[in-house]
Structure 1
Amino acid sequence: MKGVVEGQCGQQNALVGLANTFGTSNQRVGPSNAASSLLPSSSLGEQMANEFLRQKANTMAPTSFSMKSMQNNLPQASGSSSMAGNWAQEFQPRQNQLASQWTQQFTSGQTSQGLESAWRQAMPLTSSTSSTAPQDSSMWSSEYLDTIDTSLQQSSGSSAWADDFLNQQDNAGMENTWKDSTQMFENRWEEIKREMEKEETMQNPANYIYQESNPYLSSSDALLEGDMLMRSGDIGNAMLAYEAAVQKDPQDARAWCKLGLAHAENEKDQLAMQAFNKCLQIDAGNKEALLALSVSQANEGMENEALHQLDKWMSSYLGSNTTQVTTTPPMYSSFLDNETFNRVEARFLDAARQQGATPDPDLQNALGVLYNLNRNFARAVDSLKLAISRNPGDARLWNRLGATMANGDRTAEAISAYREALKLYPTYVRARYNLGISCMQLSSYDEALKHFLSALELQKGGNEASSIWSTMRSAAIRTSNVPESLLRAVETRDLAAVKASLALICDKGYRVSSIKRAKTAYSLLGSLTVECEQIALGESTNCAPQQSVPKCTGLLEGCTGNTWLGGFHVYLLENTTQAAVLDPVCCSSPSVQIDSGSCINDQLNTGTHDFSHSIVADLVYRGWQCWHQYDRKRTLVDLLWKTEICPFSSSDFPVITRKTDCEECSCECGIEQCSNGASPVRVIHKKLLLPCACDCTCTFKCL
């Protein structure tokens, strides 16, 4: 109803619009006596309604609100002053007159006879009042107060109530409560001060803490190895290599800058700022570090500091001395200093005008960051698009464009930009996290959960304290039919438990005996089905995920030694086909012995096709290899998998030899298709029974 009555600013509301439409429509059509004679007579209510609507049609409908008209109707300053003076002159005599009349009436004691009569009727008949003559009216107030005092003294209930109330007041308890509250506030203030001191410490480059057990400290060229690891998408080891490089040469500004960029892409802005500040202490004019530091500061809400770095970036871009750039940010304010912004913007625009028809992608990229600071997202998008047109292979530019579009309420376009960034750099943690945020904005909380999980898995260096967890918790709470185990895992920040709730893992003691990918009529790749068969007792079996997600570079990864494949954690890559990374879960048991000397390798699939791969009862899957498959446009379309297959023996469950003429044990379960058009993923546990029977239990879910 509110939407019908209230209109938008400066527009008519819907109800008035209906009146206009009704009246206009009826005025256009002339009355028809022939038609009206065939209709029943209208009721009085209908006639009155019609008359009201026609009257409304003949009058101009009022607007719900108009700032211009209100501004025009406001009095000018001089008029307002004269109005105030007139009002004061008019009010003062009346006030004096009323005060004089009231004073005369009160002092004269001329109280109405009606008031005296009412007072005598309300008084109780006591000996004092009944035996005396009517008292002077000026004494009625004191008599009333005496009576009230007497009644209160005679009332035992009121006295008892007062005593009970006083007895219930525990003054000592109230004092303790006050002390507890004061102590609570003092403790909270101390926590806030510690957090502030911690942030200051984190921003101090001298307090940078290196990771322990760095294997790249012995490398002859750790900086080069870090570059190679970054190109392959291994951010965790790249950070270790860059840390080794700066430990060997603390004055290497390039190494500090690359270490900061690695931390930034890993969604660790505090560590990134430390590295960038260290780089700028050595090389104050490093443009890459200045721009990246500005981005990290903006992400942390330090907008004026970010603007200062952009000011220094422009000086470096023009070949000036950045140390001469000074700033006086507003004290105790987190709001952007508009005066400083306008000055810095003028410098940028002047440099851009001098470029003519060939814009510099570096300058346009910095302009995009600048306009993000003052929330001018339209101009920021234009600048970043110009930068991308000159450098389309830069994943950071695509991610920055996506973040800018998302901030400007262009979520669908932002998702496309994030996908482009992830095509170029599949392990880009920040782009993966931003993609999850955009999915939340579209209320796709299931998809957001998967992206946050992938970001946490890819993120290196203490992900228990990652800020991604709080956002993931918001997505989990809003997800419909979310498992209780997932909520508990997110609440406790247990990454392994979160992965287990979104995984294709066999029960303990089972091996993966079959891997299938379903057919699909869509461009997306089909969903996976994993079949499991028991080879050991669950209580004696240990299963654990790998230390890191497979890199899919063709190297042999997965399970090794006396461990077998017990399932997968699945991570969807954001591309047009929804290719999935399968992260092996490896299991072991004292009762199971694997013959490592007799293992063979076999390929599971060909690109973009459905497949089905199974092994017989005396074999297990163990090692794992994968590759990225690209099309001619260098777009990732699928992952290719090859597995290591090994014979085994089990003292708990000897291999069952079934008749050769037995049909394959087929287990079908669940729905055929999910609401999004894809097939559900399935985990099927099989128990082979002699002679040809089998028992199946199945779980499935839509991802």
Structure 2
Amino acid sequence: MDAVQYERNPKFQNSQFLGLMKQLRDREMVVEGDTMVPVEEASSTSGGWATEFQKSATDVKGKGRALEPLRMTVNESGIYSIGAQNRPTEFDLSGRSEVFGPAEEEIDAYFRTDNDDYINYWRGPESQGARFQSSTTPPAVLAEWDKLQRDWDIFEATTTGIKPISNYQFQANNPYVLGEASRHHNMHSTLSAASLELQSVLELEAAVQRDPYNATAWFSLGVKQQENEREQKALHALRRALELDSTHLPAWLALAISHTNDGNRRGSYEAIRSWVQHNVRYREAVEAYRASHGDMEDFNMAQTGNSDSLVECLIAMARSDISGEIDADIQIALAILMNTNEAYDKARDCFTTALAVRPDDWQLYNRVGATLANNGQSQDALQYYYHALELNPAYIRARFNLGISCINLRRYQEASQHILDALVLQDADVVQDPAEDGTENKRGVVSSALWESLKTCCMQMQRIDLATICDRQDLDAFRLNYQIL
């Protein structure tokens, strides 16, 4: 009974066989002769088998040899069998009828028939898989099991209770997960930020799957998805990084960037506020600012409706640094808030100030360009996009932004080329998944925004044929008709 206590198959749980075993275990039934009878109806004579059974079962002082209780064990084939401990089983569950002999008792025949059904259940087509399924299992039961499995996949137990885990969807059949070495494998033995920075999405997803509790790996994956114009995946990865390590300051700034790109002003504000609260370096400056501004009720955007108080706090943090050095992260945090408030001139100034500290940061060049473009200065934005691409030619977001600025400047042919290049780069992180019919299905994630923008270019160029291909999102057909080798 202990071995099968977690078995939930309805046929097994409701079987008379299991009921009899429970009654035997609980001493509610005993064997007299060739029948099983309730304890109260058993023979009460001193020599009765039932009396001896009860007596031996409770003999804890070693007086007399207790009868060995029936046990249910599992043989090498994974089949349950019933027998006494330290002796051969009395009932063979393999289905070989000759073990019962020619004079098979009625109760033995019952056990054999009922157990054969159970054996067939365990020997079903999915008996080697993680989940056993009987062909007679009701659909409602299977649906309930499927729901439980989905809940298991999306929830986890944490120190603060049960909560959903990151619902980041990994690409299936990732060659790096399946064993193919990363091109950076020999250069880096640990998962550091530097080693993860230039890896592909597939490599980073493999790194996360191998070490799912590494906040740095999740952060690097989120930033890479930002660069690859996959904002929702970036949000999932960055949130997971912060679930694992709420003190990871770069992840808070990256999350604020993703919320800004996603049009979530409240999310951007909260991410910057969390970055301030977890920033140990400026703790004294933040406490001093709060002390001079009362209980800081207006520090919450829900109270004020704007981020003025948080902007002032960031400025106080910058002024508190007496070293004379510029903290680029403070400038980035200020620029994000300025962008959400549509104060684009101030946001540009903050980003360019950060660039003075980090002149090789391609993300900052792209953000300056995007700020200029948002302010209606698409022509001025081009040079920043080009500079970002010089530093990182595989920067998909910069290529897409460059295409959008060209559309705004009515340079549709040039815009279509830039957007197509971005789609080709996105397609490079696609896993070929064999379909049931033998064909190859691409399971990578390509941005619908890129296809819609490319379709706009095609319509402006009077290329209806290419616009139709954009609707199908068929990259190979588009490149062929676009005369791209």
TM-score in terms of structure 1 length: 0.39
Amino acid at match of 2:336: V
Q: Does 2:373 align with 1:411?
A: no
Q: Does 2:351 align with 1:384?
A: yes
* Rounded Cα–Cα distance in structure 2 between residues aligned with 1:444 and 1:456: 19
* Rounded Cα–Cα distance in structure 2 between residues aligned with 1:463 and 1:469: 12
**Aligned twin of 2:458:** 476
**Aligned twin of 1:262:** 224
1:206 to 158, 162, 166: 166
State how 1:419-498 maps to structure 2 within 5 Å.
Answer: 419-459=386-426, 460-461=429-430, 462-464=444-446, 466-479=448-461, 482-498=462-478
Structure 2 regions of 5+ residues with no counterpart? Answer: 1-153, 155-162, 287-295, 431-443
Q: How far does the alpha carbon of each residue in 1:464-486 deviate from its partner, in whole angstroms, 9 at most, with x for none?
A: 5532111221222122xx33321
Q: Does 2:360 align with 1:393?
A: yes
The 3 A distance-change label for structure 1 pair 338 and 449 is: farther
State how 1:562-573 maps to structure 2 within 5 Å.
Answer: 568=485
**Aligned twin of 2:201:** 239
Displacement after TM superposition at 1:365 (Å)? 1.7
The 3 A distance-change label for structure 1 pair 280 and 250 is: same
Q: Does 2:260 align with 1:298?
A: yes
**Aligned twin of 1:160:** none
**Equivalent residue of 1:242, what SS?**
helix
Amino acid at match of 2:309: R
The 3 A distance-change label for structure 1 pair 276 and 470 is: same
Displacement after TM superposition at 1:282 (Å)? 1.1
Given that 1:456 and 1:463 are in contact with CA atoms closer than 8 Å, whether structure 2 keeps it comes out as no
* Rounded Cα–Cα distance in structure 1 between residues aligned with 2:236 and 2:369: 26
* Rounded Cα–Cα distance in structure 1 between residues aligned with 2:275 and 2:366: 21
**Aligned twin of 2:91:** none
State how 1:226-625 maps to structure 2 within 5 Å.
Answer: 230-231=197-198, 238-319=200-281, 320=283, 330=302, 339-355=305-321, 357-459=324-426, 460-461=429-430, 462-464=444-446, 466-479=448-461, 482-503=462-483, 568=485
The 3 A distance-change label for structure 1 pair 361 and 464 is: closer
Q: How far does the alpha carbon of each residue in 1:355-382 deviate from its partner, in whole angstroms, 9 at most, with x for none?
A: 3653212211221112111011111111
Displacement after TM superposition at 1:270 (Å)? 0.5
Given that 1:222 and 1:241 are in contact with CA atoms closer than 8 Å, whether structure 2 keeps it comes out as no
* Rounded Cα–Cα distance in structure 2 between residues aligned with 1:474 and 1:346: 42
Amino acid at match of 1:467: A
* Rounded Cα–Cα distance in structure 1 between residues aligned with 2:418 and 2:170: 28
**Equivalent residue of 1:215, what SS?**
coil
* Rounded Cα–Cα distance in structure 1 between residues aligned with 2:447 and 2:311: 37
Q: How far does the alpha carbon of each residue in 1:287-316 deviate from its partner, in whole angstroms, 9 at most, with x for none?
A: 111011111111111111110100111222
| Count of aligned positions | 290
Displacement after TM superposition at 1:388 (Å)? 0.6
Q: How far does the alpha carbon of each residue in 1:399-438 deviate from its partner, in whole angstroms, 9 at most, with x for none?
A: 0110011111111111110011000000100000000110
* Rounded Cα–Cα distance in structure 1 between residues aligned with 2:228 and 2:401: 12
* Rounded Cα–Cα distance in structure 2 between residues aligned with 1:230 and 1:290: 17
Amino acid at match of 1:499: R
The 3 A distance-change label for structure 1 pair 436 and 407 is: same
* Rounded Cα–Cα distance in structure 2 between residues aligned with 1:317 and 1:395: 25
Amino acid at match of 1:295: I
Given that 1:223 and 1:245 are in contact with CA atoms closer than 8 Å, whether structure 2 keeps it comes out as no
* Rounded Cα–Cα distance in structure 1 between residues aligned with 2:189 and 2:476: 31
Amino acid at match of 1:348: L
2:176 to 209, 216, 224: 216
* Rounded Cα–Cα distance in structure 1 between residues aligned with 2:392 and 2:473: 26
Displacement after TM superposition at 1:502 (Å)? 2.2
* Rounded Cα–Cα distance in structure 2 between residues aligned with 1:338 and 1:496: 51
The 3 A distance-change label for structure 1 pair 225 and 388 is: closer
Amino acid at match of 1:384: F
* Rounded Cα–Cα distance in structure 2 between residues aligned with 1:387 and 1:447: 30
The 3 A distance-change label for structure 1 pair 338 and 401 is: farther
Displacement after TM superposition at 1:226 (Å)? 9.4
**Equivalent residue of 1:285, what SS?**
coil
Given that 2:355 and 2:364 are in contact with CA atoms closer than 8 Å, whether structure 1 keeps it comes out as yes
Displacement after TM superposition at 1:259 (Å)? 0.7
Given that 1:395 and 1:420 are in contact with CA atoms closer than 8 Å, whether structure 2 keeps it comes out as yes
The 3 A distance-change label for structure 1 pair 441 and 421 is: same
**Aligned twin of 1:650:** none
The 3 A distance-change label for structure 1 pair 358 and 448 is: same
* Rounded Cα–Cα distance in structure 2 between residues aligned with 1:225 and 1:477: 45
**Aligned twin of 1:168:** none
Given that 2:197 and 2:220 are in contact with CA atoms closer than 8 Å, whether structure 1 keeps it comes out as no
The 3 A distance-change label for structure 1 pair 463 and 453 is: farther
* Rounded Cα–Cα distance in structure 2 between residues aligned with 1:315 and 1:363: 13
Given that 1:223 and 1:255 are in contact with CA atoms closer than 8 Å, whether structure 2 keeps it comes out as no
Given that 1:205 and 1:275 are in contact with CA atoms closer than 8 Å, whether structure 2 keeps it comes out as no
Given that 1:280 and 1:290 are in contact with CA atoms closer than 8 Å, whether structure 2 keeps it comes out as yes
Displacement after TM superposition at 1:328 (Å)? 6.0
Q: How far does the alpha carbon of each residue in 1:474-527 deviate from its partner, in whole angstroms, 9 at most, with x for none?
A: 222122xx33321221122111121112225xxxxxxxxxxxxxxxxxxxxxxx
Amino acid at match of 1:484: I
Displacement after TM superposition at 1:251 (Å)? 1.3
- RMSD, matched Cα: 2.9
The 3 A distance-change label for structure 1 pair 475 and 226 is: farther
* Rounded Cα–Cα distance in structure 1 between residues aligned with 2:446 and 2:373: 27
* Rounded Cα–Cα distance in structure 2 between residues aligned with 1:346 and 1:225: 34
Larger radius of gyration: 1
* Rounded Cα–Cα distance in structure 2 between residues aligned with 1:497 and 1:402: 32
Given that 2:222 and 2:233 are in contact with CA atoms closer than 8 Å, whether structure 1 keeps it comes out as yes
Displacement after TM superposition at 1:248 (Å)? 2.0
The 3 A distance-change label for structure 1 pair 402 and 465 is: closer
The 3 A distance-change label for structure 1 pair 413 and 425 is: same
Amino acid at match of 1:251: Y
The 3 A distance-change label for structure 1 pair 318 and 408 is: farther
The 3 A distance-change label for structure 1 pair 355 and 339 is: farther
Given that 1:226 and 1:242 are in contact with CA atoms closer than 8 Å, whether structure 2 keeps it comes out as no
* Rounded Cα–Cα distance in structure 2 between residues aligned with 1:270 and 1:383: 26
The 3 A distance-change label for structure 1 pair 225 and 288 is: closer
* Rounded Cα–Cα distance in structure 2 between residues aligned with 1:274 and 1:405: 28
Amino acid at match of 1:466: S
The 3 A distance-change label for structure 1 pair 476 and 223 is: farther
